[in-house]
Structure 1
Amino acid sequence: MSFLNRFQPVLLSVLRITAAYMFMLHGTAKLFTFPFVEGLNPPLASIYGIAGILETVGGILLLLGLFTRPTAFLLSGQMAVAYFMAHTSPTPLFPLLNGGEAAALFCFVFLYIAAAGGGAWALDNRFNKA
């Protein structure tokens, strides 16, 4: 499968963009009730409101590939905290049962992006060429 090696930088960007878009939707649902999710409209000064800000702003930055590594690292940590705060009880080792699949996947996808960078289509590439 070495023929896929040449697509690695582009596919890294596709992973970053799709993950960022889906992550950003979690934030906009919290902050702007769009898309509408029943019962999800937290106060801005709550932990869920702050999470919504991080998800929206961080999602936009990742979507653009701007400040990719530090943003992805911060969001990876946010998702680790979210998993352990909201999803470990009573079955910490079974994300399928505790509803933590998205938090765990976002955590490790963002950790990978923090290590690998934004890929071929990141705005970071344009600004770091100076």
Structure 2
Amino acid sequence: MNALNRFADPFYCIMRFIVGLMFTCHGLDKIFGTFAGKTEALPPLMMLGGWIEIICGFLVAFGLLTRIAAFVASGEMAAAFFMMHAPKGLIPYVNKGELAVVYCFIFFYIFLRGSGSWSIDALIGRSRTATATTS
């Protein structure tokens, strides 16, 4: 099992990147109709959700302000589930809220774990540490 530990951080980075980009794509499609080609007037709360998806997804993907962005994204997905899906029933498979639940828990895990060593947060932290030790 220890032989697999060397892959944990690179895999976490890849997972964080893919989840962040997928979340960004959801936001881009919601706001601009980028992928589905449909643009319709959105209620203000959905518009806010779309921008949260774009911004937080991008930040999580590249590991910048990761914990804050992941916490906000997790909260948005929890709110989306309880506001949009739960009124149709509490079972995610029945109310079509599986993706909201999965995103909620993945982003909460990212919030708890942090950005990892392959991230902009880590690069900034390293440069601060290097500056502090050389002065």
| TM-based fold match above 0.5 | yes
Inter-partner Cα distance in structure 2 for 1:49 and 1:76:
17
Per the alignment, residue 131 of structure 2 pairs with none
Supply the AA of the counterpart residue of 1:87: H
Structure 1 vs Structure 2: percent identity of aligned residues?
35
Following TM superposition, the consecutive aligned residue runs of length 4 or more in structure 1 with deviations greater than 4 angstroms are: none
Offset of residue 89 of structure 1: 2.1
Contact 1:11 1:119 in 2 (8 A): no
Secondary structure of residue in 2 paired with 1:89: helix
Question: Could you state the TM-score of these two structures normalised by the residue count of structure 2?
Answer: 0.87
Say yes or no: does 1:106 pair with 2:103: yes
58-67 or 29-38: which moved more? 29-38
Per the alignment, residue 116 of structure 1 pairs with 113
Using CA pairs below 8 Å that are at least 6 residues apart, which structure has the higher relative contact order? 1
Contact 1:27 1:54 in 2 (8 A): yes
Say yes or no: does 1:9 pair with 2:6: no
Offset of residue 119 of structure 1: 2.1
RMSD (CA atoms): 1.5
* Greater share of helix: 2
Change (3 A) 1:42 1:103: farther
Inter-partner Cα distance in structure 1 for 2:115 and 2:41:
31
Q: Which runs of 5+ in 2 are unaligned?
A: 129-135
What does the per-residue CA deviation read over 1:36-80, in whole Å, with 9 as the maximum and x for residues that have no partner? 255x5343x610100011000111111111000111011101100
Q: Name which one, 1 or 2, has greater alpha-carbon Rg.
A: 2
Secondary structure of residue in 1 paired with 2:89: coil
